[in-house]
Amino acid sequence: MHGESSFMDRFRLDGKVVVVTGASSGLGAVFAVACAQAGADVVVAARRVDKLEDTVREIKAAGREALAVRADVSVEADCQWIVQATIERFGRLDVLVNNAGIGEQHFATKLGTDEFRQVVDVNLTACFSTAKASAAVMQPGSSIINVASIMAHTTIDGMPTTAYSASKAGLLGLTRALARQWTGRKGIRVNAVLPGFFPSEMTRDLQPQMIADRLVTGRLGDPEELAAAVVFLASDAASYVTGAEIVVDGGFLLS
């Protein structure tokens, strides 16, 4: 085995270029830095470039190159611009992490159609637009990772995520459809990660007792525990994984 790459090298992202949307803070920033630590150059996108400065700094501290792109993923032209800017800077795009998303907590009777549509536009339609633009330039062996949610599969009393749950369930359907269409024909793997409850802007207002009784692990997740799943799906270690849903929820869905 001397002179050959080791099994653990399959988990590395050396030589790859990764795009992470919604990377200005929270889980997106953790994903971006984790990919850099695994060896990738990383493009981070958000509506405000100034909010990406800390993420860019951490990527460079990991010894990798970074590019910050201003983009509103609810605008299709911006989704295309993310890909164009990536190709102009790095000449390739190997991994897309569709992370940008917004939440809401409204009972259906109190939720306006315009707000419902806004959530779907960001959480679902934007993922399609960015994936489609990325697939046009990706080479075989590339990976698309859609960040969904366990709320695509469950509900919680007192937490009426009507549009959010619908959009994330739709994202799982999109993941399966793209995997079916692109893995065999283009060699692009498409998978979804389904986070449970992690410290983030979306979960900061949750009442801990609402979810504590359903967490087998008895605690919220560490963002790096979720980032590990993203890096796995981005890497060659997951070369035989496509159309999959990787649930990272501390056993929440078991209850």
- How do residues 46-61 score in pLDDT, each as one tens digit? 998 999 999 999 999 9
- Mean pLDDT (whole number) for 29-39: 98
The answer to whether 61 touches 83, Cβ cutoff 8 Å, is no
Range scoring the smallest mean pLDDT among 29-43, 59-73, 99-113, 237-251: 99-113
Per-residue pLDDT for 147 more than 70?
yes
- Mean pLDDT (whole number) for 74-80: 97
Phi, psi of 199 (to 5 degrees): -60, 120
Is residue 153 classed exposed, middle or buried when 0-12, 13-18 and 19+ CB atoms within 10 A define those classes? middle
- Mean pLDDT (whole number) for 232-242: 98
**pLDDT value for 1:** 41
- Mean pLDDT (whole number) for 37-44: 98
b/e burial code for range 12-48 (CB count within 10 A of at least 16 → b): bbeebbbbbbbbbebbbbbbbbbbbbbbbbbbbbbbe
Per-residue pLDDT for 64 more than 80?
yes
**pLDDT value for 2:** 46
Per-residue pLDDT for 91 more than 80?
yes
240 in active site: no
207 band by pLDDT with thresholds 50, 70 and 90: low
pLDDT tens digits, residue range 149-206?
999 999 887 788 999 999 999 999 999 999 999 999 999 999 999 999 887 665 666 6
Per-residue pLDDT for 127 more than 90?
yes
**pLDDT value for 203:** 61
Instruction: Tell me which amino acid residue 22 is.
Output: G
8-254, what's its fold? Rossmann fold (3.40.50)
Q: Which of 128, 164, 197, 252 is catalytic?
A: 164
